[in-house]
């Protein structure tokens, strides 16, 4: 009887470890999926010459050498 319980506990422990490991792997791929989606949005925006769609994929911290920022574009402000 003790051997049966020990086997069940061992199988349950291994199953639990496998499930938790797989859950961790699934969560780590979300960053890659988000980056892939951003890349697809940017590609589509370039093909359609859609500035709004393009800017939706740009970081709020964006700035360029000519003084352009995300806020300047979104709020239609002049470049600094």
Cβ contact 79:67 at 8 Å:
yes
Q: Is 59 in contact with 68 (CB distance < 8 Å)?
A: no
- Average pLDDT taken over every residue of the chain: 79
Q: How far apart are CA 51 and CA 67, in angstroms?
A: 18
Cα of first residue to Cα of last residue in the chain, in angstroms, is: 79
Q: Which pLDDT belongs to residue 77? A: 61
Positions of the chain with pLDDT lower than 50, given as ranges:
none
- Contact (CB, 8 A) for 53 and 44: yes
């Amino acid at each position: 009887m003790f051997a049966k319980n020990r086997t069940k506990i061992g199988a349950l422990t291994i199953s639990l470890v496998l499930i938790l490991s797989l859950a961790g792997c699934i969560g780590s791929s979300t960053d890659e999926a988000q980056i892939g989606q951003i890349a697809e949005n940017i590609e589509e925006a370039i093909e359609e010459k859609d500035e709004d769609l393009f800017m939706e994929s740009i970081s709020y911290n964006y700035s360029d050498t000519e003084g352009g920022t995300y806020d300047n574009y979104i709020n239609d402000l002049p470049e600094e």
